[in-house]
Amino acid sequence: MKTEISKFTSSKGVITTYKLTNNIGASVTLSSVGAGIVSVIVPDSQGNMADVVLGYADVCDYLYDGPCAGKIAGRFANRIAKGELTIDGTKYALSVNCGPNHLHGGPEGFQNQIWESQEIHNGVKFTRMSRDGEENYPGNLYVEVEYTWNDDCELAIKMTAESDKKTVVNLTNHAYFNLDGENCGSILDDELWLNCSKYLPTDESLVPDGTFASVDGTPMDFRAPMIIGTHINSDFLPIVYGKGYDNCWAIDNWEKGKLQHVARLVSHKSGRVLDVSSTQPAVQVYTGNWLSDSPTNKQGNKYSDYDGIAIECQAMPDAPNKPTFPSTFLAPGEKYEEIITYKFSNNNTLH
């Protein structure tokens, strides 16, 4: 594995990037901004290389970008209703930064911080200490995110955390994928499969109501592979609310700590395939419904809505306020540990 390290100056400090290149010339570039993925270059079915992760021309534009492109969202990814959180009878008022709700840990969430970083075998380890009271969350939370890249074009992410006070944790990676290439237009013709027979109904602000609904007979049914754009303009309320898919599904047969296949994304144009596995109980699928407001992309152009899809393995939104959902509380002495893997292949390598 070849590693190239680069340094960039920003208003928030020095940004470090790491380019990991495997023995077939496929590469991943990671950044200390939000412990993020800024590039994944992999071959199509003809052997042509392209970058399949959306991102920006200027590495500094990853700070405070609206899409949270490629980064680790936290301390609590996704939404907490009205920014209200209660732990053992103590109420915490979090920032309200997405309509009436708290999103991705707030304006100074993990995605907008420069993490400490170091090279490890076939990868990079990012660390940070989220201090007690940061974004009004309780507890000093120490977080590690390890990425490893191998010759089979599998990118593995291991996320761990420990706290000295009871708190909540929900971490995910927020990369946007376009298997034709990051500057190649819409993903609506790509095909998606999900290992999910239930989704989470929400209100119009996309906060779950605490129930689980069957995907049977709805546009939410991806148990058989379906072209993403098939129902994107339907009058089905869960899709109308987000101007496309911005919804959470419960993973079938989820067991804490068990890594299992969650999703498959296929481009019939390029022949590239992405398989996503995770230990997390849920997956949020976001079809890039508001990407037109993004910073300038890597080719100097502007993205359009639906130019990328995020497949965010995570805990369920608003879980601290929904006793029907798997717990996201973390007590002193406990360890948060979750894994996400992205396996890239193509029609010539897929078995």
Are the CB atoms for 62 and 56 separated by under 8 Å?
yes
Respond yes or no: is residue 154 known to be catalytic.
no
**239 three-state secondary structure:** helix
At 204-243, the pLDDT tens digits run 999 999 999 999 999 999 999 999 999 999 999 999 999 9
Are the CB atoms for 347 and 108 separated by under 8 Å?
no
- Over 70: is that where the pLDDT of 349 sits? no
Range 122-127 average pLDDT: 98
What pLDDT does 348 receive?
76
What pLDDT does 351 receive?
44
By CB neighbour count within 10 A (0-12 exposed, 13-18 middle, 19+ buried), where does 144 fall? middle
Measured distance CA(225)–CA(136) in Å, rounded: 42
Residues constituting the chain: 351
Return left, alpha or beta for 60; rule: phi > 0 is left, psi -120 to 50 is alpha, else beta. Answer: alpha
What pLDDT does 347 receive?
87
The DSSP result for 59-128, as a single string, is GGGGTT-TT-TT-EE-SB-SEEGGGEEEETTEEEE----BTTBEETT-TTSGGGSBPEEEEETTEEEEEE
By CB neighbour count within 10 A (0-12 exposed, 13-18 middle, 19+ buried), where does 214 fall? exposed
- The pair phi, psi for residue 80, each rounded to 5°, is -120, 120
Active site residue: 134, 162, 182, 312, which one? 312
At 88-110, the pLDDT tens digits run 999 999 999 999 999 999 999 99
Active site residue: 104, 135, 162, 174, which one? 174
Respond yes or no: is residue 121 known to be catalytic.
no
Q: Which domains does the chain have, with CATH numbers?
A: 2-346 (2.70.98.10)
Closest Cα to residue 57, out of 69, 46, 49? Answer: 69
What pLDDT does 28 receive?
98
